[in-house]
Amino acid sequence: MTVLKEKIKKNTNSIVQDKETKDLLSRSLQYLKAGYPIHFTGPSGAGKTSLALALAKKRKKPIMLIHGNHELNNSDLIGDFTGYTSKKMVDNYIRSVYKKDESVSETWRDGRLLEAVKNGYTLVYDEFTRSQPNTNNIFLSILEERILPLYGSKKTEPFVKVHPDFSVIFTSNPEEYAGVYQTQDALLDRLITIFVDYKDVDRETSIVSEKTDVTEKQAKAITTLVSTLRNQCKDDSGPSLRASLMIAKLATEQDTPIDGENEEFKRLCIDILGHQVSRCIEDDQPVEKAKELITKALKSMKATD
Ligand SMILES: Nc1ncnc2c1ncn2[C@@H]1O[C@H](COP(=O)(O)OP(=O)(O)OP(=O)(O)O)[C@@H](O)[C@H]1O
């Protein structure tokens, strides 16, 4: 007899709002409404960007998303001259009169921050500490004086006033992460910083079962495996919920049984978790040690169906 398993495609973009997430979102919304910018900080994969976007959505205003990076500069934020437009008019209506009128002007394109500030959007500035601190200085005037200085724009007005509906949600990884700059105290002082940590196994289980096609029991087996390995890491750089989602998604797509004894499943877990675990443990042979730890954790995993 053939058993057909119907796979229901879940909405992988939606955020699962358990009680803690709902509470955090409603508190943060209150702070934003009172005019204070929110800053979610925490380890990679803890759910900061998802939270920031869910919070921005609650404000029911257009959302502008900027990703921090070390090359981001004032031209990207405020705007830039993109070239020239020229206009030429030749008037030869009366044959004996030849009139030529020519003008050349620079073309200005508003940057993303200027657009958001002018129109009262909700700005989500993801991983803002990956931009150089002097690039982020512009936020000091926005948050304190409620103006955006128009450096380099050649406009008559030296600044634009911040629209009353404009608000910002920042996200960042802690300072010990690679590629992250230290934030100036003056900026941090103006933000409400909330630490977003990894969720416990039960919360991660409900997200994995909600977002992928695995059963709740299978989701629990996967998140327990991942959090067991994460707990053996010396810092926050261990595998996150992202790894659990990857394992769940790939195992269902490839029809691999979620079973610690199954060779295919073992291979999948080692591929997904091996590198991250090897980076977060202290050992002379981290790659081999990581495989050993994953195999051991898989052995204690219960078979699921
Ligand atoms: N509450 C949630 N509901 C649904 N999915 C979630 C939730 N929290 C996190 N996720 C999922 O977990 C993964 C990691 O989340 P996210 O990208 O928000 O983390 P992050 O903390 O911003 O990570 P990074 O610091 O690496 O950017 C994503 O696939 C996201 O969809």
Say what percent of the chain tops pLDDT 70.
93
With respect to residue 3, please indicate whether it lies within any of the assigned structural domains.
no
Q: What predicted TM-score, i.e. pTM, was given to this entire model?
A: 0.87
Q: Which of 90-99, 103-112, 174-183, 200-209 has the lowest mean pLDDT?
A: 90-99
Q: What is the 3-state secondary structure (H, E, C) of the chain?
A: CCCCCCCCCCCCCCCCCCHHHHHHHHHHHHHHHCCCCEEEECCCCCCHHHHHHHHHHHCCCCEEEEECCCCCCHHHHCEEEEEEEEEEEEECCCCCCCEEEEEEEEEEEECHHHHHHHHCCEEEEECHHHCCHHHHCHHHHHHHCCEEECCCCCCCCCEEECCCCCEEEEEECCCCCCCCCCCCHHHHCCCEEEECCCCCHHHHHHHHHHHCCCCHHHHHHHHHHHHHHHHCCCCCCCCCHHHHHHHHHHHHHCCCCCCCCCHHHHHHHHHHHHHHHHHHCCCCCHHHHHHHHHHHHHHCCCCCC
Cα angle 240, 52, 165 (rounded to 5 degrees) comes to 175
Residues 105 and 148 placed together within one structural domain of the fold: no
Give 28 Cα–ligand 1 centroid separation in angstroms. Answer: 17
**Atom 16 in ligand 1: residue holding the nearest Cα:** 47
Give the count of domains, the chain.
3
Q: For residue range 39-93, what is the model confidence (pLDDT) as tens digits?
A: 999 999 999 999 999 999 999 999 999 999 999 998 899 888 888 888 888 887 7
Whether 293 and 218 map to the same domain: the answer is yes
End residue of a domain, out of 109, 127, 159: 109
Ligand 1 pocket, residues with Cβ under 6 angstroms: 15-16, 21, 44-50, 171, 173, 207, 211, 241-242, 245
279 within a domain of the structure (yes/no)? yes
Are 49 and 133 found together in one domain? Answer: yes
Residue 7 lies in a domain: no
**Domain boundary residue, one of 195, 219, 253:** 195
| Cβ–Cβ under 8 Å, residues 301 and 266 | no
Q: Which residue has the higher pLDDT, 278 or 96?
A: 278
Rounded to an integer, what distance in angstroms lies between the CA atom of residue 266 and that of residue 272? 10
Q: Are residues 124 and 272 in the same domain?
A: no
Domain boundary among 195, 216, 238: 195
Kindly state whether residues 164 and 216 are assigned to the same domain.
Answer: no
Q: Is residue 141 part of a domain?
A: yes
In a domain, 140, yes or no: yes
User: Does some domain include residue 2?
Assistant: no
Spacing, Cα 18 to ligand 1 middle (Å): 14
Based on the fold, state whether residues 233 and 285 are members of the same structural domain: yes
Answer yes or no: are the C-beta atoms of 219 and 208 closer than 8 Å: yes
Ligand 1, atom 25, lies closest to the CA of 44
Atom of ligand 1 nearest to the CA of 13: 31
Each residue's pLDDT tens digit, 246-301: 999 999 999 999 999 999 999 999 999 999 999 988 888 999 999 999 999 999 88
- pLDDT at site 93: 78
152 and 289 within one domain: no
Interval between CA 95 and ligand 1 midpoint (Å): 71
Residues 101 and 243 in one domain: no
Q: Are strands 147-149 and 167-172 parallel, antiparallel or unpaired?
A: unpaired
CA-based torsion, 233, 239, 244, 246: positive or negative: negative
Question: Are residue 239 and residue 277 in the same domain, yes or no?
Answer: yes
24 and 36 part of one domain: yes
Residues 250 and 221 in one domain: yes
Q: Is residue 6 part of a domain?
A: no
ipTM of the complex: 0.97
CATH number of the domain where residue 150 is located: 3.40.50.300
Nearest residue (CA) to ligand 1, atom 4: 15
Statement to judge: residues 103 and 122 lie in one domain:
no
Domain that residue 226 falls in: 201-299
Is residue 13 in a domain? no
Spacing, Cα 200 to ligand 1 middle (Å): 14
Q: Whose CA is nearest to atom 5 of ligand 1?
A: 15
